[in-house]
């Protein structure tokens, strides 16, 4: 694990690539995985 390992964050920074450990847009990634808003019960 280090600069030569493309599966790690440091390796991806060194290689200039993106993936699971280094997403291109982390803010967008977090928004997608946020829990859905709770729905209120309308039926009685």
Quick: pLDDT tens for 9-20: 898 888 999 988
d(CA 36, CA 29): 14
pTM for this one?
Answer: 0.49
How is the chain split into domains, by residue range? 1-26
d(CA 32, CA 19): 16
Instruction: Report the Cα 37 to chain-centroid distance in Å.
Output: 20
The set of residues, in sequence order, having a beta carbon less than 8 Å from that of 14 and lying 6+ positions away, is 3, 4
Nearest Cα residue to 21 out of 29, 33, 9, 3: 9
18-42 pLDDT tens trace: 988 888 887 776 655 556 666 677 7
The set of residues, in sequence order, having a beta carbon less than 8 Å from that of 26 and lying 6+ positions away, is none
């Amino acid at each position: 694990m280090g600069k030569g390992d493309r599966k790690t964050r440091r390796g991806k920074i060194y290689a200039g690539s993106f993936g699971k450990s280094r997403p291109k847009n982390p803010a967008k990634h977090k928004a997608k995985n946020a829990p859905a808003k709770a729905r209120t019960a309308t039926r009685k």
